[in-house]
Amino acid sequence: MDDPRRYLPAVDVLLSHQAMERSQISHRLKRRAVRELLACERRRLGQEDAAPLATDQLVDRAIDMARSLAASNAPSVFNLTGTVIHTNLGRAPLAEPAIEAMTRAARYSLALEYDIDSGHRGDRDQVVESLLCELTGAEAATVVNNNAAAVVLTLSALGAGREAVISRGELIEIGGSFRLPDIMHTSGCYLREVGTTNRTHARDFEQAMNDATGMIFKAHTSNYAVEGFTAVVEESELARIAHAQEVPFIVDLGSGALTNMAALGLPDEARPRQSIEAGADVVTFSGDKLLGGPQCGLIVGSRDYIDRIRRHPLKRALRVDKLIMSALEATLRLYRDSDEIARDIPTLALLTRAQEDIAATAERLLPVLSEHLPDMEVSIAPCKSQLGSGALPVDRLPSQALVVAPTTQERRAGERTLRMIETAFRQLPRPVIGRLHDGAFWLDLRCLQGEAEEHAFAEQLGHLSLNRDTGS
């Protein structure tokens, strides 16, 4: 018998096909897709007793492959997980002025480290330092690429070779198994634990002070809470003890907020200004969590200590680029100038979104989703959103969810169906990320805000493909 591989069309034949020429894909990418597709076909035909695909089928598959190659490895998604500031989904969405500032910085040269008045080299921290000082009450400020870097740099610059005294109840572990004791070791500090897991007193710190003490360090327990029989030492008291020993008092807020969250009707979160007013010498916090800006680590405090941090060799390795600095400046200007900060910072807008508004979204989308999932039980149920990324781990916000449940009562069949549903939503043109809970697939609608987003979500539901073999 003839080898079916002999009848496969040539690369140029597929590339000259009308459908291929009409596709809005670069010639280079189409050629790569055609070559890879034909190589796959040769392998298949060499292993199976089968006829080659028709030319039109090969063209369609090559176009799909080219589009897949052109697609981003980090596509935009609908975050319907119920976690507003989701680390795995990019944390805080940026405000429009920040997006515009990043676009401008990407397109043009800008005075990042250039002093317009003097015509000499400047310092990129000057782009945001005055804003950070105004918003936090600090004397000076600097910026690095994330808060973990801010902690590492601060510890290295101010405490290397000496003891960092910290309460045992604050030896935190953040995402990715990064542990504060390991960070201290990497920074060259010697960890000195005081107190117990649930109770630490001022006398514990006072008794730990010695000639080797380099600092007192306080870590905000932003991703867990210790309740019950507890005791912590106030920041003002820790500052007093540190200053009596003539060592700095460092506070790592983790998330941190620049506005009074309680005034917005949200659970309150520690603010850098409060720590500075309590006597902290250096405060570190994140830019892409409750602040609602780009990923960066912010270090504010006394000019003396900030200058020492700036001079450390690690500072240059950890600095941020012009895009981040531009977005951060625009975000900080909103905090300084906006009359409605809960409207202008998208993260705060999502966190303060009225439950009635979320419920109305659920009512509009329920019949649309039900139409595309006729074999499933689709309903609306109350749920609780969380802030996420280590911010206020205990507090929850009332929300509404669309809940998709299998109709079968058999447990294993139901689990397979749920995995199939979850996969189908992730495979939509703009993936929808929900969560499996209590035998159902939940889509928390808190982060589906605005007519355009709601329409985009509903419009693509026609692409839902429930492959019954998925997850089996």
Return per-residue pLDDT of the chain as tens, 472 residues. Answer: 578 888 899 999 999 999 999 998 999 999 999 999 999 999 999 887 788 889 999 999 999 999 999 988 889 999 999 999 999 999 999 999 999 999 999 999 999 999 999 999 989 999 999 999 999 999 999 999 999 999 999 999 999 999 999 999 888 877 666 788 888 888 999 999 999 989 999 999 999 999 999 999 999 876 667 778 889 999 999 999 999 999 999 999 988 899 999 999 988 889 999 999 999 999 999 999 999 999 999 999 999 999 999 999 999 999 999 999 999 999 999 999 999 999 999 999 999 999 999 999 999 999 999 999 998 999 999 999 998 866 555 578 999 999 999 988 788 888 999 999 999 999 999 999 999 999 999 999 999 999 999 999 999 999 998 765 444 3
CATH domain 96-342 topology: Aspartate Aminotransferase; domain 2 (3.40.640)
Whole-number pLDDT of residue 47: 83
Tokens of 116: 């317009």
Question: Using an 8 Å Cβ cutoff, are 76 and 430 in contact?
Answer: yes
Nearest to 164 by CA among 154, 179, 149: 154
Q: Which residues, in sequence order, are bridge partners of residue 300?
A: 141, 283
Tokens of 240: 């007093």
Phi first, then psi, for residue 404 (nearest 5°) are: -110, 120
Whole-number pLDDT of residue 471: 40
- Model confidence pTM above 0.85: yes
Whole-number pLDDT of residue 9: 93
Whole-number pLDDT of residue 394: 58
Pairing of strands 213-219, 249-252: parallel
Is domain 78-88+349-463 annotated with CATH 3.40.50.80? no
Residue-range domain boundaries for the chain = 4-70, 78-88+349-463, 96-342
d(CA 294, CA 324): 6
d(CA 31, CA 15): 7
All residues at 6 or more sequence positions from 27 whose CB lies less than 8 Å from its CB, including other chains: 15
DSSP 292-333: -S-S-EEEEE-HHHHHHHHHSTHHHHH---HHHHHHHHHHHH
Nearest to 412 by CA among 439, 384, 386, 443: 439
Tokens of 138: 């600090």
Question: Using an 8 Å Cβ cutoff, are 196 and 168 in contact?
Answer: yes
Question: Using an 8 Å Cβ cutoff, are 230 and 200 in contact?
Answer: no
The owner of tokens 């990320």 is 433
Question: Using an 8 Å Cβ cutoff, are 75 and 431 in contact?
Answer: yes
Three-state DSSP class for residue 435:
strand
